[in-house]
Amino acid sequence: MNKKIEKSISKFLSLVLRHKPEVIGLNLDEQGWVPTEELISKYNANRHFPITFEELDYVVQHNNKKRFAFNEDNSKIRASQGHSLEIKLNYDPLEPPEFLYHGTALKFLTSIEKTGIEKRNRHHVHLSANLDTALNVGSRHGKPVILKISAQKMHADGHQFFCSENEVWLTEGVPVEYFEVD
């Protein structure tokens, strides 16, 4: 698949499955799922170029961030995390590794050092188990900074952690005392 088309499809899926399903008239269920055929039909009615199930499947399987997931029989699709909508992802709480990482831009560091890492308009703060992913995330908005999170200590102190289908660790927020600049 052409990379430009793949990126365009992925960005549009992020919009309608994470933030604004109404753009094409989708109704996500309480867990963020939508029937795959409905998504394809409404996508095709609203975009300049239609997609097939095979193309959608390719985007889901090859998205480098694994942002989307099908259910067991591919009859439904949803975003794995990152919603600004009220969605119940129903992930089970898990014990995190000793450390997790959060990538951000240097220009945000002063604010984060005052308030902690906040979820803002999202459901959770997104954390990574590896430095490369955190570095890529931090690079999106300027010079990257990596924050090393004492995830085990947070967990021991009662904070819950979840892990999405695409291995992004999620938590409500990270108070200042649980991280350091790496």
d(CA 25, CA 16): 9
Per-residue confidence (pLDDT) for residue 172, from 0 to 100: 94
Per-residue confidence (pLDDT) for residue 120, from 0 to 100: 86
Per-residue confidence (pLDDT) for residue 48, from 0 to 100: 78
Per-residue confidence (pLDDT) for residue 5, from 0 to 100: 87
Residue 108 tokens, joined: 């945000």
d(CA 137, CA 85): 21
Residue spans of the domains in the chain: they are 3-79, 99-181
d(CA 173, CA 1): 38
Direct distance between the N- and C-terminal alpha carbons of the chain, in angstroms, rounded to an integer: 38
Per-residue confidence (pLDDT) for residue 170, from 0 to 100: 94
- Mean per-residue pLDDT pooled into runs of 10, the chain (182 residues): 89 94 94 96 89 95 89 95 82 95 96 94 90 91 95 98 91 97 90
CATH architecture type of domain 99-181: Alpha-Beta Barrel (3.20)
Per-residue confidence (pLDDT) for residue 166, from 0 to 100: 81
Q: How many CA atoms lie within 13 A of 3 on its CB side?
A: 1
Residue 137 tokens, joined: 């995330």
CATH number for domain 3-79, candidates 1.10.10.970, 1.10.3720.10, 3.10.450.50, 2.60.40.1180: 1.10.10.970
Asked whether 155 and 170 are in contact (CB, 8 A), the reply is no
Neighbour-count burial of 165, counting CB atoms closer than 10 A to its CB (0-12 exposed, 13-18 middle, 19+ buried): middle
